[in-house]
Amino acid sequence: MNENRLPDYLEHMQQAATDACSFVEGLNKDDFQEDKRTQQAVIMSLIILGEAATKIMDTYPEFSQAHAEVPWRSMRGMRNRIAHGYFDINLDVVWDTVQTALPTLLKQLLSIQDKLKVDK
């Protein structure tokens, strides 16, 4: 039962961030505010992202500490706010997250995954 799931969790994070960014591609903020389907898709991606970040923080604390540039706690916090305050989701925050935080996160994840491949 002691298998290393870390690469899987990182892959889930990368996929969810990529999905969220692709869902809003070509949209402006007003389009997003009007498009419930896209909102739901992006929000689900953020939940997946936060879930995987939480797994990494809980299961591989030394890894998350070694990669402190990644906003692990922010992802977990956003996931919790979405999951527990579903009707109070701030779409401005969701939009800003996809526009600014996720592209940065994707670069960080790619860098980490490249390093993991080299270390094998």
Contact 70, 62 (CB under 8 A): no
For residue 105, give the nearest of 73, 80, 56, 70 by alpha carbon.
Answer: 70
Q: Is 73 labeled as catalytic in the residue annotation?
A: no
DSSP codes joined into one string, 43-58: HHHHHHHHHHHHHHHH
Q: Is 79 labeled as catalytic in the residue annotation?
A: yes
Residues marked as catalytic: 79, 84
